[in-house]
Amino acid sequence: MTHPSDATLALYAGQDLGFLARWRTERHLAACDRCRQEVETYSDLRADLPELMDFPDTGWGRLAAEMKANIRLGLAAGECVGSLQPEEPRRVPLFSTRALVACASIIALLSAGVLLERPIPQPKAGEGITLEATANGIQLKGGGQSLSLLHGGASPNANAVTFSVSAQGSMRARYVDSDTGYVTINNVYAQ
């Protein structure tokens, strides 16, 4: 059984998961005591969180004051270098050119990542490999890949192609090439 990650369980406890992830996590929790216990722990922790947020004033207060001072100093230094006109914060529209370029770049990056890094399942020889006749040839498929030998030279006559099967794990398609008049026998082996 594959367990959800700690992050997923924590998000579930806070009701922050999306619909699909929540549904999958609920299904898992229904059958897994260990993860259910983890979720309860996260829920308890959430309940205690407001108390934990009450940090002692001394340390944080000093730190905040230090930061404010540094910011003030930075602003003052800026004024010395050149007059600064305070600007109203600009509202960046969601679909500005920059946002679109950024989104497109992220999507391109993700797509390239999926294309390049997707693991290729490599089945063992003979396992899960099926051989069958299709409308235009013999197809060997397995592990998300396929190899087909096509009878492109056969006449469109329904009886033009004769298939035969060997229990050894191979299939033949035989036809008379309509251009050359020669018999062509395609054989695909699954062994």
- Smallest gap from residue 90 Cβ to another protein (A): 19
Which positions from 69 through 98 interact with another protein, judged by CB under 8 A?
A: 94-95
Q: Verify binding: residue 151, another protein, rule CB under 8 A.
A: yes
- Smallest gap from residue 115 Cβ to another protein (A): 5
Q: Verify binding: residue 43, another protein, rule CB under 8 A.
A: no
Q: Verify binding: residue 185, another protein, rule CB under 8 A.
A: yes
Q: Verify binding: residue 14, another protein, rule CB under 8 A.
A: no
Q: Verify binding: residue 107, another protein, rule CB under 8 A.
A: yes
Q: Verify binding: residue 169, another protein, rule CB under 8 A.
A: yes
CB environment 119-158: b (16+ within 10 A), e (fewer): eeeeeeeeeebebebeeebbbbbbeeeeeebebeebeeee
Q: Verify binding: residue 36, another protein, rule CB under 8 A.
A: no
Q: Verify binding: residue 104, another protein, rule CB under 8 A.
A: yes
Nearer to another protein, 61 or 152 (CB): 152
Nearer to another protein, 85 or 180 (CB): 180
- Smallest gap from residue 3 Cβ to another protein (A): 28
